[in-house]
A = this chain, B = another copy of it.
Amino acid sequence: MTTRFELVARSGTARAGVLHTRRGNVATPAFMPVGTQASVKALDAAEAEGTRARMVIMNTYHLWLRPGPEVVAELGGLHEMSRWPHVIATDSGGFQAFSLAERTRVTEEGVEFSSHLDGARRLLSPEESMRVQGQLGSDVAMQLDICPKGGAPREVVLEAIARTTRWGRRCLDARTPGQALFAIVQGGTDVELRLAHLRELEALPFDGLALGGFSVGEPPEQMHRALAEVAPRMDPERIHYLMGVGTPADLVRAIGAGIDLFDCVMPTRNARNGQAFVPGGKVVIKNARYRTDPRVLDPTCPCPACAGGYSRGYLRHLYVAGEILVHRLLSLHNLYHYQRLVAEARRAILEGRYDAWAEDQLASRATE
């Protein structure tokens, strides 16, 4: 197994570690920017690297439909194509087949759906997901899973768990040599179901353990209550990845529970909606109060927008005028903000003061 997790330090239940992969190491806690279509939106690879991210996640569903895994493979795989030199994870495609595609039908074989691009009928089976992720050439693949909506009835969650385990075995059988494969634990906010599913999947030779099915409509408090019970009980030898989460405060709390790895569209999506994360809250850049504000977003931030001296007044002008430069500057700023957050969290863990650091962070971020 070329991919393994090395635990470096604990502070309470929070963990600092290193994910070793065939493409280099990732210090954890870590946050993965999302590059849905093989591009972290608005940024080139050098800029994404500049944020200090060392692992990104790209979307199998999107890349499967366009440009297609054969084209990606002909262009040398995702790394060569996108020029991202560090670790790439890909999701299984299942989540988008449910959230984006039309006329989705699930059978034991897989997920049948119509492409949101051209309506073509497709079957996403565990084997097809492994084949596509293998062609894309990511370093870490995710198993195909069933992710029920937040608040789904118990029998739906039970069925999702059972099928996710069966599909997990099929993914293991069909995996691409050399590519790491992570399991996805379901169970909603029910701690008992989560732990039961965790035990099932931990018994299988997955390289990492992800928690799926959070941040899918349930109240955040329910997620954090479940995380506080589940994350500390996950196999300490493997990486703990919380999928699709979340706000900076969510990260601080989840790291405290024992999560090592995150991904979320929030920093880049909010940027495109004109929201910048700053110490103590958010700047909504279109607000008239910033019209002549000469201050940068955050004077302590090393990002190109802040270090480059771009004022809130100018950023507001760019946003109101529809200039795409503002998407890029705010995306960079928010990603730097997230990367600094996980870097500081790691330092606090290494120094054995995570809880105090987290308390300060949560108090200062109460307005988020």
Contact = CB atoms under 8 A, between A and B. Distances in A.
A85 to B, nearest CB: 10
A105 interface: no
Looking at chain A's contact residues, the main secondary structure is loop
Interface string A30-57: 0000000111011111100000000000
B292 A71 contact: yes
A46 B292 contact: no
A132 to B, nearest CB: 16
A280 interface: no
Interface stretch (A145-153, A155-163, A246-254, A308-316): A308-316
B44 A75 contact: no
Contacts of A37: 317-318, 321, 323
Contact of A325 (B39, B71, B310): B39
Given A83-B309, A83-B310, A309-B83, A317 B42 contact: no
A35 B109 CA distance: 55
Q: Please tell me the size bucket of the interface on A.
A: 35 or more
A53 to B, nearest CB: 16
A317 B65 CA distance: 11
Given A74-B292, A294-B75, A314-B75, A328 B41 contact: no
B308 A42 contact: no
B308 A67 contact: no
Interface of A: 37-39, 41-46, 62, 66-67, 71, 74-76, 81-83, 291-292, 294, 304, 308-311, 313-314, 316-318, 320-321, 323-325, 327-329
